[in-house]
Amino acid sequence: MLRSLATRIALACSLCLAFCAQAAAFDTTTPPAASTVNPQDREIGRRVDARLNQEPALSRVQASVVDGVALLHGEVVQQEDAKLAESIAAQTRGVTRVENRIELSTHLRDRFAVALEAVSEKLVRLVAATPLLVIAVGIVFLASWLGRALSRRTRWFLGHLHSQNPYLEGLVQRVVQWLVLVCGLLIALDLLGASSLVGAVLGSAGVAGLVLGFAFKDIAENYVAGILLSLRRPFAPGDHVMIDRVHEGKVVALTSRATLLMTMDGNQLALPNALVFRSVVLNFSENPKRRFDFLVPLDPASSVGDAQRIGLEAMQAIDGLLPDPPAYALITEYLPDRMSVQYLGWVDQKRNSVPRVRSEAMRRVKRALDDQGIRRAGVPASAVAPLAQPEYTPPADTSADKEIDAQLAQAQRAKDSENLLDDRNPSTPS
């Protein structure tokens, strides 16, 4: 058993010795012995060492040459020094190939010296560039002041624009201000020798703008549509409009992203500007006179002419019905079982409510026809007989809907600061 153990120990020792011998054969971190180097390689190695010693940063680097191959070993403080040593060795006459075995120094003193040198160099550059930096900052401040001054002077050239679109005037002033400021920044950067930084920033801004453009496509579309709507002005604050044949209400405000409506139910509706810009806009307030109509089906045996005359006489007594244009009645249908008469009238919608005037007209026409015994289609003769008691007549209030107008005014006051249609908004750049 002891013999077996001794045999195993001897075998392990022999394997270790063989491994160490092989490692020593391939270890080239140390220069070969002088006896194994021919005179020509020794001379080339001395030339390489002489050139390396001329650089203070390479004082701890040695070179050895074997068969024209230069082996560099030692320590340097920075990686650039290792590359410099490799370049020096490669340029030495007689060197065919370079094997760089140089390592970076991990000594605390060396690393601290490198950091201190870098900081000192930057401080020296900063001090040297202080006059240029002061001038560059002065140029930026001057460009900012000049941009503000020019933006205010644009009011002289855009005097007619203020009455048409004060928001656009403010936008033009901001564009002028920012263009002058950007020009000042470019001049300052070029003075500091940072022109390449401008290209990098503009390139990054272009890529970022492309990404943001796709991400915020709807927001940008609504913003541009808001500007175009403020130029075209298809409606004004308070106008009664119908958009896309669906959305009806009074205009509260036009913001940069949405058109706000106060519906006739008293609810606030926000429509994207892009939708409003593409849609058909019906503006009821563009013309203060608005027409209403309603149909009355009559029995074929009734006198249509009397129905027209009696209905118009009843309508003319309505408060809120305009005498000019006058109301009129048309026969629109002639069938075996009925005839239809269409009554039409005009209302000043700024002072009177069209639905209220229409409702009062329908009530009075119905009562007048019944009093004169004119039968409507499908109504028996007993239904048009004189009533035993007078018909109840509610108060005829045809004035404009003050409640909706009050809610509209309150909503407009809340949106004054961002209404692109409001001429009172300040247009000077902030």
Per-residue pLDDT reduced to its tens digit, 271-323 = 999 999 999 999 988 888 999 999 999 988 888 999 999 999 999 889 889 99
The pLDDT, as a whole number, for residue 295 is 94
Distance CA 339, CA 299 (A): 6
Report whether pLDDT(202) > 70.
no
The pLDDT, as a whole number, for residue 164 is 54
Amino acid at site 141: F
Distance CA 198, CA 129 (A): 19
Report whether pLDDT(33) > 60.
no
Q: State the pLDDT confidence band at 334, using cuts at 50, 70 and 90.
A: confident
Report whether pLDDT(177) > 90.
no
The pLDDT, as a whole number, for residue 310 is 93
Better-predicted residue by pLDDT, 220 or 425: 220
Q: Which two structure tokens, joined as six digits, stand for 311?
A: 């209905």
Better-predicted residue by pLDDT, 1 or 301: 301
Distance CA 405, CA 226 (A): 24
**Mean pLDDT, to the nearest integer, of 194-212?**
65
Report whether pLDDT(61) > 50.
yes
The pLDDT, as a whole number, for residue 169 is 65
Report whether pLDDT(215) > 90.
no
Helix segments in 237-303, DSSP class H: 273-278
Residue 300 and residue 341 in contact, taking contact as beta carbons nearer than 8 Å? no
Mean pLDDT of the chain: 77
Q: State the pLDDT confidence band at 357, using cuts at 50, 70 and 90.
A: very high
| Burial of 302 per CB tally in 10 Å (0-12, 13-18, 19+) | buried
Q: How far is C-alpha 138 from the geometric centre of its chain's CA atoms?
A: 32
Among 113-127, 154-168, 301-315, name the one with the lowest average pLDDT.
154-168
Domains and CATH numbers, the chain: 14-104 (3.30.1340.30), 131-215 (no CATH), 236-285+411-418 (2.30.30.60), 289-380+392-399 (3.30.70.100)
Residue 412 and residue 419 in contact, taking contact as beta carbons nearer than 8 Å? yes
Q: Which residues sit opposite 64 in a β-bridge?
A: 71
The pLDDT, as a whole number, for residue 345 is 95
The pLDDT, as a whole number, for residue 29 is 44
Percent of the chain with pLDDT over 70: 72
Better-predicted residue by pLDDT, 401 or 292: 292
**Mean pLDDT, to the nearest integer, of 335-341?**
88
Better-predicted residue by pLDDT, 88 or 126: 88
Q: What DSSP designation does 386 have?
A: P
